[in-house]
Amino acid sequence: MITNASASLSAIERAVLADLQTMTYDEVRAKHGWSRGKIYALACREGARKTEAKIRERAADRKARQQEFLAEMIDQTATADVLDYLDSMPDGCAQLVCTSPPYNVGKKYGEGAGADTMRHVYYLGWLMQIVSEAARVLADGGVLFLQVGSTRDEHDHLMPLDIAVYDFIRKTGLTFQNRVIWTIPHGLTPRRRLAERHETVLIFCKGDRPRHFHANPLRIPQKDPGKRAFKGPNKGELSGHPLGAWPSNVWAIPNVGHNAPERTGHPAQMPSELVRRAIHLYTVPGDLVIDPFSGSGTTHATCVETARRFSGCDLFYGDLRAKRLAATKLAAVCPLPGVTPESIAVWQAETVRVDHDPSLQLDFLAVA
């Protein structure tokens, strides 16, 4: 008996589906005179393929395994290949994927001497698989924060990675938000070209806009905190925001040099400030942040400091991450970099005391 068949099916279609439950495709073809292709097309349309139940069972088992793996990996780092790790994570589980992949320029990561020396076309294909999986594990409104530099193409020429991957990321269905320029004060000086003093961050979200966007932790100091409106209803009043100017897509953050206090020994360590900005912008406490290239644990440590959950993977640097996380605690204060002593003085000078009738306050409390 076909219980889920469409009401619009003809008598012969119903008979074919009924026979398909106990007979092979060839037997149904011989009985009804239909081709195997026509029988299979009907079975696909009505969800009655011979393997349909097994397919549904496998999908349900996979989903259950992914949920179990996620529960085990909250605030943990798997020692696993990046694609194996992402494949084991369930759909829509993360609010932020914040990471910086290897650039394929021959850096030595842990014991993997050839991990950063793939053929160019292989490397791009590998990176696209990672981006595709990152898009899958993002929740609606979640954000991909991908920090990249330059790679080497098939002719061993420098190639900006953000240009190479932009269109591929867009084809995953994610929506472009920003291209951040991360300016770096120090680096190598080449002989016959300009020195590289910036890298980029590509920011995409799942859906039309991010679920969260909090500008205040990233505001910058006002150039003129005492500036006043010169016309309109607010003429003569302070025109700037008390917490600073709106943040831009150019970020001046020192790279982690050999003498930097947060230096761990990782050959390509991301600065904590870069990750902290991403976390404050696009998440709230309790959200899950995934870094599939966990490295020295910068993303994980920053999550601990800001009360976010984390998960990730890496084949190397487990002892280094463990030591770093053991020394990391929840931060007592979230600084607002846009607030300066000068701006505080300007706004305090405008402060006016306002007294309220205590009886009105008591009435309000009674109602509440």
For residues 269 and 253, which has the higher predicted lDDT (pLDDT)? 253
Q: What is the pLDDT of residue 2?
A: 45
Query: Strand 150-152 vs strand 158-160: parallel, antiparallel, or unpaired?
Result: antiparallel
Q: Which two tokens stand for residue 172?
A: 């995953």
Do 20 and 50 contact (CB within 8 A), yes or no?
A: yes
- Give me the sign of the Cα torsion angle 133, 137, 89, 109: positive
**For 101-110, 223-232, 327-336, which range has the lowest pLDDT when averaged over its residues?**
101-110
**For 42-56, 171-185, 339-353, which range has the lowest pLDDT when averaged over its residues?**
42-56
Q: What is the pLDDT of residue 114?
A: 65
> What separation in angstroms does the CA of 314 have from each of 105, 112, 145, 154, 348?
18, 11, 18, 27, 49
Helix (H, G, I), strand (E, B) or coil at 118: coil
Q: Specify the CATH class of 73-222+240-336 in words.
A: alpha beta
Q: What is the pLDDT of residues 72-82, one digit of tens each?
A: 999 999 999 99
**For 93-107, 131-145, 239-253, 343-357, which range has the lowest pLDDT when averaged over its residues?**
343-357
For residues 303 and 266, which has the higher predicted lDDT (pLDDT)? 303
Q: Which residues have C-beta within 8 Å of that of residue 212, sequence separation ≥ 6? A: 95, 141, 281, 282, 283, 284, 287
Would you place residue 363 in the very low, low, confident or very high pLDDT band (cuts 50, 70, 90)? low
pLDDT > 70: what percent of the chain?
Answer: 93
Helix (H, G, I), strand (E, B) or coil at 238: strand
Do 250 and 183 contact (CB within 8 A), yes or no?
A: yes
Do 181 and 249 contact (CB within 8 A), yes or no?
A: yes
Q: Where are the extended beta strands (E) located within 269-338?
A: 288-291, 309-313
Q: Which residues have C-beta within 8 Å of that of residue 8, sequence separation ≥ 6? A: none
Domain boundaries, the chain: 11-50, 73-222+240-336
Task: Looking at mean pLDDT, say which of 165-169, 187-191, 226-230 comes out highest.
Answer: 165-169
- Give me the sign of the Cα torsion angle 263, 267, 273, 279: negative
Q: Where are the extended beta strands (E) located within 175-321?
A: 175-183, 198-205, 250-252, 288-291, 309-313
Q: What is the pLDDT of residue 207?
A: 96
- Distance, in Å, from the CA atom of 302 to the CA atom of 313, rounded to the nearest integer, reads 16
| Bridge partners (DSSP) listed for residue 182 | 199, 251
- State the CB neighbour count (10 A cutoff) for residue 269: 19
Q: Which two tokens stand for residue 198?
A: 């910036």
- Distance, in Å, from the CA atom of 204 to the CA atom of 166, rounded to the nearest integer, reads 10
Q: Is the pLDDT of residue 302 over 50?
A: yes
Q: Which two tokens stand for residue 123?
A: 């490397």
Q: Is the pLDDT of residue 53 over 50?
A: yes
**For 6-10, 126-130, 171-175, which range has the lowest pLDDT when averaged over its residues?**
6-10
Do 156 and 126 contact (CB within 8 A), yes or no?
A: no
Q: What is the pLDDT of residue 265?
A: 77
Q: What is the pLDDT of residue 58?
A: 81
Single-letter residue type at 22: T
**For 61-65, 73-77, 159-163, 248-252, which range has the lowest pLDDT when averaged over its residues?**
61-65
Q: What is the pLDDT of residue 21?
A: 83
Question: Helix, strand, coil shares of the chain as percentages rounded to 5?
Answer: 35, 15, 45
| Bridge partners (DSSP) listed for residue 178 | 203
Q: Is the pLDDT of residue 141 over 50?
A: yes
Q: Is the pLDDT of residue 32 over 70?
A: yes
pTM here is: 0.81
Q: What is the pLDDT of residues 83-95, one digit of tens each?
A: 999 999 999 999 9
- Give me the sign of the Cα torsion angle 288, 292, 298, 301: positive
Q: Which two tokens stand for residue 158?
A: 């420098």
- Distance, in Å, from the CA atom of 177 to the CA atom of 199, rounded to the nearest integer, reads 17
What's the mean pLDDT in 149-155? 93
Q: Is the pLDDT of residue 9 over 90?
A: no
Q: Is the pLDDT of residue 3 over 50?
A: no
DSSP 8-state symbol, 267:
T
Mean pLDDT, the chain, rounded, equals: 89
Q: What is the pLDDT of residues 251-264, one digit of tens each?
A: 999 988 777 778 88
Query: Is residue 295 packed enough to be buried (19+ CB in 10 Å), middle (13-18) or exposed (0-12)?
Result: buried
